[in-house]
Amino acid sequence: MNEQSGGTKWIGMPVERLEDPPLVTGRGRFAGDINFPRQLHMRTDAARALPGVVAVWTAADITDVPPIDFREGPIEKLAPYRQPVLAIDRLRYVGEPVAAVFAHDPYVAEDAADLVTMEVEELPVLLDARDEPGEFSFGRDTEATILTQGYGDVEAVFKSAAHVVELKLTSGRHSGVPLECRGAIGRYDASRDVLELHGAAKVPHRNKELIARMLKRAPASVQCYESHVGGGFGIRGEIYPEDILVCVAAIRFERPVKWIEDRREHLIAANHSRNQHHHIKAACTDEGEILAIDDVIHHDNGAYVRTHATRVAMMTCGVLPGPYRVPGAYRAICHFRLTNKTPAATYRAPGRFETTFVRERLVDAIAHQLRLDPIHVRRLNAVRVDEMPFKRPLEALGEEIHFDSGDYHALLDITLNHVDWQNLNKELAARREQGEMVGVGLAMFVEKAGLGPADGVRIQVDTSGEIEVITGGASIGQGFETVMAQVAAECIGADMTKMRVTHGNTERIEHGIGAHASRATVMTASATRVAALKVREKALDIAAELMQSPVDTLDIVNGEVVIADRPGGPSMTLGAIAAALGPSSKARGDREPGLSAEGWFYTDHQVYPYGNHLAVVQVDPDTGGVKVLRYVVGYDIGRAINPTLVKGQIAGGFAQGLGGALMEEFTYNERGDPLAVTFADYLMPTVRETPDLEIILREDYPSPLNPLGIKGAGESGVNAVGAAIASAIDDAIGIPGAITVLPVTPQRLKAIIDGKR
């Protein structure tokens, strides 16, 4: 089939987003905008006596509702550690839902919640995953499981190695803070016996399946509807207690039930992430070749195991070696432990932000201990282009890691040339001689994207010529609608601005994996291509008969079938062809009715885009404050459907990485009380702290694993920020290996500087 019509080229073009008009004109429909007649409002916590309160529930009122299950299905070993919808017997973290109040008015519900009183016996608090496990329940301690990945004889390689480099490193606890807090609206249609859940969600079909399983309903009797979303970032990939509560209440009251989270609730109850402690060792040669890595990890998952189960910890174990070969042996042992903190799960580049920090700190330490150039150590160990595809017996998201394509050395050279590496270091050294604390750091990384194994799309053309792309994907701000329209328009030969992309509605399409793991562009766009080519073929087939011209002489240009070598000759619109394919049309013959097609894309392996980050920083020795003077991201995406959107994804990710590197942190006092529950205490970077970003976007190595050659972009901007900034701070203050904890807050850095003095 011909994939390129003679019309407008859409793939690779920086076209404007289709999603923006309703958002910039105030017509967006977020969870807060969704309302139904006779609606009740829910708050967690409760008081019965206040006028306007309809009901108050505790765990005793919903004994038929099980704990929240895992997204991928039951996991027997972890089942005892699931979170109940309302606390049973024991409170495990501040922010855990204890009771729910339902009222006619949201303000009444809020006031009623404020009246709650609880009698709580204080128990010992566990706040550090490195401490000895405590009791979770009778016969079970707080080490829910131990995860391992690896290969080779670690002990033998370390025993014979010329050098061993050892570090202890910590990634602090922070998470996504979207502009829009969580919200959920449950609605039960008794006439159809259908339960509906409305609100922002990046995995509507998975949520539908999970709710049906928990509430013992047929999947067809549960439907999920995605609204506009004010930020996703992994934090919306869950089913939370409040989501289940509004569904159960909607069924019992036979009235819609709405819950909207406030910012304080978000900071203490929505998923946290990143909190890990690594004790890592590398076995090296005199030249700096990394022969083996041995890492013991203590992963702090908070009070419960939520719907992502052990996904972040297992990912950490699998992806830690990153772009480096590590030929001899590798072992990661992860102690997956629970503490009395908010439960943790995914946040943009889960497991990769943490491991890139750890791995690149290790590489810098190897270079320092062996008195080698850090760039040399990276070049020596990075997988070479002639080794692609590169396979290692580790897994990420259940798939064995197979790097599909890329030249890590070439991209490193491009980035270094971009900043004039040698002269940049000379300039910074001269400034340090004058008393300034300035430095540069670099980090390399490999991302993973395009999680399979399958995705499907349906495309249909109506008699007006409008094309609808129906998908089980989700739009969480990444330009999903625009990208799918670009692919469909180019493959069909239509105008993308006249297309409609329908997503996040489980009633419209049976299957969908949503938008997570940077999968949408790879999987959904590839399925869109398959469906679009089928629509094109079907349109040309009947047009050839109706226009009495051979198929190979026809083309589709801007939604019209034309004879390719006869400008101004006869033509047919796609709308007219759709009419000719109508069920009662005689022109249809024995063809299937409708100008429509379903397309599926399957893959055995994810794709692996790659890049590097370079940071130039200035440190204030009196305050410990860090200013990022310059930041460069080099990234090979394989093929960019829309380069502008890719650069936007990188920039947004960088800002979040900057927060995690320098300021964002959920802290607790010795009693387990959260200390960062407002933006006065949970600090985030503003425009003032965020430098202009220099993005080197390359398309040198398209993926061989899909026909479009595409890889993902959503997590590239955040991946290596902590690592690059840590290295730059070391250089600025003249203390190799000084930064071992993220975030590098002014207090922590000031203590390091004062210790040196």
| 232-282 pLDDT per residue, tens | 888 887 899 999 999 999 999 999 999 999 999 999 999 999 999 999 999
Could you tell me which of 399, 400, 401 has the C-alpha nearest to residue 324? 401
| Region at 409 (left for phi over 0; alpha for psi -120 to 50; beta for the rest) | alpha
The ranges assigned to domains in the chain are 20-25+451-602, 34-120+176-269, 126-175+272-383, 411-449+610-757
Burial of 672 from C-beta contacts in 10 A (0-12 / 13-18 / 19+): buried
Q: With both helix axes pointing from N to C terminus, report the angle between 241-253 and 204-214 in degrees, rounded to the nearest 10.
A: 60
- As a whole number of angstroms, the distance between CA 245 and CA 184 comes to 9
Q: Are 252 and 195 in contact (CB under 8 A)?
A: no
> Which residues lie closer than 8 Å to 225 by C-beta, 6 or more apart?
196, 197, 198, 199, 204, 504, 505, 506, 507
CA 234, chain centre distance (Å): 4
Closest Cα partner for 633 from 364, 368, 356? 356
Q: What's the average model confidence in pLDDT over 661-680?
A: 97
Note the pLDDT of residue 267: 97
Contacts of 631 (CB under 8 A, 6+ apart): 613, 614, 615, 616, 654, 691, 693, 694, 724
Statement: residue 49 has pLDDT above 70: no
List the one residue out of 132, 402, 163 whose CA is nearest residue 283.
Answer: 163
Q: Is the pLDDT of residue 78 over 60?
A: yes
Residue with tokens 């600025």: 732
Contact 171, 353 (CB under 8 A): yes
For 369-384, what is the mean pLDDT? 98
Question: Which residues contact residue 63 at a Cβ distance below 8 angstroms, ignoring those fewer than 6 apart?
Answer: none
Separation between Cα atoms, residue 517 and residue 522, nearest integer Å: 10
DSSP 704: T
Task: Specify the fold of 20-25+451-602.
Answer: Aldehyde Oxidoreductase; domain 4 (3.30.365)
Which of 123 and 718 is assigned the larger pLDDT? 718
CATH class of residue range 411-449+610-757: alpha beta
Q: What is the DSSP letter of 523?
A: I
| The pLDDT of residue 2 | 45
Cβ atoms 73, 143 nearer than 8 A: no
Structural contact between residues 287 and 187, judged by C-beta atoms closer than 8 angstroms:
no
Q: 704, 526 in Cβ contact below 8 A?
A: no
pLDDT band of residue 1 (cuts 50, 70, 90) is: very low
pLDDT digits (tens, 9 = 90+) for 535-587: 999 999 999 999 999 999 999 999 999 998 888 788 999 999 999 999 999 99
3 state SS of 620: coil
Q: Are 272 and 239 in contact (CB under 8 A)?
A: no
Tell me the one-letter amino acid at 146. I
Q: Is the pLDDT of residue 336 over 60?
A: yes
Residue 21 and residue 391: Cα distance in Å, rounded? Answer: 44
Helix, strand, coil: what percent of the chain each, to 5? Answer: 30, 25, 45
- State which amino acid sits at residue 251: I
What is the Cα–Cα distance from 325 to 446, expressed in whole angstroms? Answer: 12
Q: pLDDT > 90: what percent of the chain?
A: 87
Pick the CATH number of 126-175+272-383 from 3.40.50.300, 3.40.50.10490, 3.30.365.10, 2.60.120.10: 3.30.365.10
Judge whether residue 4 has pLDDT over 60. no
Torsion on CA atoms 57, 58, 60, 62, rounded to nearest 10? 60
Residues 6+ apart with CB under 8 A from 719: 349, 352, 353, 356, 445, 447, 611, 613, 653, 657
Angle at 608 between CA 607 and CA 610, to 5 degrees: 150
720-743 pLDDT, tens digit per residue, is 999 999 999 999 999 999 999 999
**CA pair distance 601, 530, nearest whole angstrom:** 7
Confidence of residue 44 (pLDDT cuts 50, 70, 90): confident
The values of phi and psi at residue 12, to 5°, are 90, -5
Of 195, 200, 199, give the one whose Cα is nearest residue 212. 195
Q: How many CB atoms lie within 10 A of CB 437?
A: 19
34-120+176-269, CATH topology level: Aldehyde Oxidoreductase; domain 4 (3.30.365)
- CA–CA dist 520, 515 (Å, integer): 5
* pLDDT at residue 45, as a whole number: 67
Residue 513 is predicted with a pLDDT of: 81
**pLDDT tens per residue, range 620-647:** 999 999 999 999 999 999 999 999 999 9
- Looking at per-residue pLDDT, the higher value among 300 and 519 belongs to 300
CA distance 145 to 132: 14
State the SS3 of 54-119. Answer: EEEECHHHHCCCCCCCCCCCCCCCCHHHCCCCCCCCCCCCCCCCCCEEEECCHHHHHHHHHCCCCC
Cβ(154)–Cβ(349) below 8 Å: no
What average pLDDT does the chain have? 95
pLDDT in tens, 271-319: 999 999 999 999 999 999 999 999 999 999 999 999 999 999 999 999 9
Distant-in-sequence, close-in-space partners of 218: CB < 8 Å, separation ≥ 6: 212
Q: What is the pLDDT of residue 498?
A: 87
Residue type for position 372: L
pLDDT digits (tens, 9 = 90+) for 577-618: 999 999 999 999 999 999 999 999 999 999 999 999 999 999
pLDDT at residue 198 is higher than 90: yes
Task: Decide if 20-25+451-602 and 34-120+176-269 have a common fold.
Answer: yes
Better-scored residue on pLDDT, 702 or 120: 702
Q: Which of 736, 741, 735 is nearest to 753 (CA)?
A: 735
pLDDT in tens, 453-469: 999 999 999 999 999 99
Beta bridge partners of 468: 460, 500
Q: Is the pLDDT of residue 515 over 90?
A: no
